[in-house]
Amino acid sequence: MSKTIKIGTRDSELALWQAKTVQQQLENLGYKAELVPVKSTGDIVLDKPLYELGITGIFTRTLDVALLNHDVDIAVHSLKDVPTILPKGIEQIAVLKRGNVNDTLVFNDNEEFLGAREAVVATGSLRRRAQWLNRYPTHTIVDLRGNVNSRLQKLKDNDWNGAIFAAAGIGRIGIRPEDSINLSWMIPAPAQGAIMIAALGENDFAIEACSQLNHEETEICTSIEREFLNKLEGGCTAPIGALAFIKNEEVNFKGVLLSKDGSKKIEVSKTEALGKHDDIADFCANYIIDRGGKRLMDDVKNESKTTNVYSTKSLTEDQRLLFHEKVTAKSSDFIKTNPNRIQKHIVKNEIRNVIITSKNAVDALLTNFSADELQFKNIYCVGRRTKRLVENRIGKVTHSEKNAKALANYLVEFMEGTAVTFFCSNLRLDDLPNILEENNIVVNEVEAYETKFDGVSLDDSVESVMFYSPSTVQSFKQKNDKEVIAFCIGETTATEARKRFKDVRVAKVPTVESVIELVNAHYI
């Protein structure tokens, strides 16, 4: 035992505490050991949240290199920071008995803010952020990076209500403030609170020495948690929690996957007899996947990609799945509508001719009146979906066209009578009434709903935008002054877009799905 075991460690206070613990235990067994501190990328880059750095194993990579270069014999890690798949040639040799698994809330003043609508909590962990927002959706989360000591100091220096730490970390180096509580409801990171020793598979001396430090119960539990993480294909950038513990000869497991903003959560729990627990991680991961976990993981991954397409209408889950893998699309409603109050006398007597060009007009009519009160002799529509909605909820449609201009031309030629009632918005950008009036048809415009612009400023990475009405084009231009490819749902929208963009493309049929096909065709 004359050989000295060189222990590679990060040089933070917590990492050194963990390495010294391993050193002490090895020396208690009669081995000689010395510490070899190194800096990691995770310690050096402090100006970005951990999940934005995009490096798996950010706190372990430097030590991996030191092992492979034979600069150290073993590396000591917080197991929660270690990728589930180790580099070729490096093996997990031992896991020490686990410490406190909980997350801890440290607060500046008192914990009364937990009952308040507004509060500010700091954490650099995506998992903690997501679980906190799931429980307290109106709170604000701010990023917090650095070692344990610097994070505690930042909490003191700011007017945040509190910050979240690993209980094991602040407890091991003896700096846990009195103003703190364990968050027993928050599922910890896989393997949180456990210290792991790694070595080269060829280093028989280090393996023989360190394997004696392994704590079997901790190894079983952390292996289940890390296998669960691996099955979900989640690294440190995914909001995944997992905890296994053994009680009364049974393995108890609970896991969670969340969206980044905490609005979506899928949980699982399972108990198996010790010795018959080998499939518990696989079962629980599949349970999560079968209940929408894969889609949730894809969303998390896509959020880290650069957005190149933006939709000016919120897309459904099924619609988002239609995009090609080269497309990273985001969406929001650039137009917000509210139904207006419509006077009863307008529909009291049977109206001979009515024009309805949108779903919003249908909703506004039915907000004010029952279907029985809407006795229209002839209903004219724009779009197949509007026609279907009208026939399902109001009555039979006399005729429909794919756009407003085509409907106007039809009415000039074939409409009975010389007057029409048009249920429209306060913002009307089509030429339908103008065409009718030029041909001596009286148009009674009724503002059935109010349209408000609600566009947002887009990132420079957005190359193309999906538009669904002339109003969405105008709303976009209120907030953005950039040239993009305009993918339009129909010719009326395209006409407005051509006033502002050089490259305008029109879908074959006026549906969102057809616009998505147009987008895919460009990016494939």
* Residue 104, H or E segment: strand 103-107
Query: Quick check: 267 and 255 in contact, CB under 8 A?
Result: yes
Question: Rg of the Cα trace of the chain?
Answer: 31
What sign results for the dihedral spanned by CA atoms 192, 256, 288, 321? negative
- Sequence-distant (6+) residues with CB within 8 A of 499 are none
Query: Quick check: 420 and 436 in contact, CB under 8 A?
Result: yes
Establish whether 299 is a catalytic residue: no
Query: Quick check: 340 and 450 in contact, CB under 8 A?
Result: yes
- HSE (CB half, 13 Å, CA atoms) of 312? 32
Query: Quick check: 11 and 37 in contact, CB under 8 A?
Result: yes
Structure tokens at 181: 């509580």
Q: Distance (Å, rounded) from C-alpha 446 to C-alpha 353?
A: 13
What sign results for the dihedral spanned by CA atoms 292, 285, 274, 223? negative
Alpha helical stretches, state H, 69-203: 126-135, 148-157, 167-172
Query: E strands along 306-441, which residues?
Result: 309-311, 329-331, 335-339, 351-356, 376-382, 399-401, 419-425
Interhelix angle 491-498/404-414, rounded to 10 degrees, is: 120
Report the 3 state secondary structure along 29-95: CCCEEEEEEECCHHHHCCCCCHHHCCCCCCCCHHHHHHHHCCCCCEEEEEHHHCCCCCCCCEEEEEE
Catalytic pick among 43, 64, 73, 81: 81
With vertex at residue 82, the alpha carbon angle to CA 76 and CA 84, rounded to the nearest 5 degrees, is 135
Residue 422 CA to its chain's centroid (Å): 41
**What percentage of the chain's residues is helix, strand, coil (to nearest 5)?**
35, 25, 35
- C-alpha pair distances (Å), 450 with each of 315, 354, 360, 393, 423: 22, 19, 9, 21, 11
Residue type, 210: C
Q: In degrees to the nearest 10, what's the CA dihedral of 7, 10, 12, 18?
A: -40
Query: Quick check: 510 and 383 in contact, CB under 8 A?
Result: yes
Catalytic residue set: 81
